[in-house]
Amino acid sequence: METPYQNHINKTDFDHVYEPAEDSFLLIDALEKDLPYLKAKKPTFCLEVGSGSGVVITAFGMAFPNSFCFCTDINFKACEMSLSTALQNKVLLDTINMDLVSCFINNKFDIVIFNPPYVVTEPAECGGCGIEASWAGGEKGREVTDRLLDIIPKILSPDGTFYLLLIKENIPLEVIQIMSKYGFKSETIITRQVRNEQQIVLKFHR
């Protein structure tokens, strides 16, 4: 998978939108590692929740030009940047400014991707719609993630796959147990130690 062209973005724009970092590129690496599986799936409808700069969903769209790609973000500036990144890389993308997937209930996506706000913070720091929404995760760094886990069974197709990035402090085993109760199997695609963070990308499927 190619890394999308990003030189169109002004550095000052990252005062308002999460700048692609090690976690963003780990997620792309995980998708690349799982490319044979994804190609066999031939996904049609693909969604990234919380797209930020759009680098991940654009990389996916570059690898799967026949897929219909969508992304959401609670930060309107992130939606604008995601669309710009997609256009610069000739990827067709629909962006929707919303909280998680509130408008997509009962829509069936083949692939859902989420790099959540995973930093452990005070619960009061959650709920914003600016750049803080990209990192403030509340208790266990999981308050936003857990909300999405409850919705995944409703928006994922029966044969769909959900990719989720977490860190050790998020207690990934608890997430695996939650998804197991919904009937999902789990796999660890990739792990990486980045300074003081142990990052992991999990794959869930029925």
CATH code of residue 75: 3.40.50.150
Q: List pLDDT tens digits, range 4-30.
A: 988 888 788 888 998 999 999 999 999
Structure tokens at 82: 């995601």
Its domain, for residue 183, covers 22-205
Number of domains composing the chain: 1
CA dihedral 51, 166, 4, 133 (to 10 degrees): 30
Residue 1 belongs to some domain of the structure: no
Residue 8 belongs to some domain of the structure: no
Residue 174 belongs to some domain of the structure: yes
Given a cut of 80, is residue 203 above it in pLDDT? yes
Q: List pLDDT tens digits, range 35-71.
A: 999 999 999 999 999 999 999 999 999 999 999 999 9
Residue 57 belongs to some domain of the structure: yes
46 φ/ψ sector (left φ>0, alpha ψ -120 to 50, else beta): beta
